[in-house]
Amino acid sequence: MVTSRSTAAARPGGASPRRRGPVLERAILEATLDQLGSVGWNGLTMEGVAVGAQTGKAAVYRRWPSKEDLVVEALRVGLPTLDDAPDRGSVREDLYELCLRVRDVMYSKPGFALRAVLHECDADAAERFHELIVTGVVEPSTRLFTAVLRRGITRGEVRPDAVDGLVLDVIPAMMMYRSKVYGSEWQDEEIADVIDRIMVPLVRV
Reading phi first (left if > 0) and then psi (alpha if -120 to 50, else beta), residue 44 is in beta
Q: Give the span between the Cα atoms of 107 and 41, in whole angstroms.
A: 17
Architecture of domain 18-65: Orthogonal Bundle (1.10)
| Each residue's pLDDT expressed in tens, for the chain with a length of 205 residues | 444 444 444 444 444 556 678 999 999 999 999 999 999 999 999 999 999 999 999 999 999 999 999 999 999 999 888 888 999 999 999 999 999 999 999 889 998 898 888 888 887 777 888 888 888 888 999 999 999 999 999 999 999 999 999 999 999 999 988 988 888 889 999 999 999 999 999 999 8
CATH architecture of 91-203: Orthogonal Bundle (1.10)
C-beta pairs of 76-81 under 8 Å, 24+ apart in sequence: 76/132, 76/136, 77/29, 78/29, 78/30, 78/33, 78/109, 78/110, 78/113, 79/105, 79/110, 79/111, 79/114, 79/136, 79/137, 80/104, 80/105, 80/108, 80/110, 80/111, 81/140
Task: Please state the domain extents for the chain.
Answer: 18-65, 91-203
Q: What is the pTM of this model?
A: 0.80
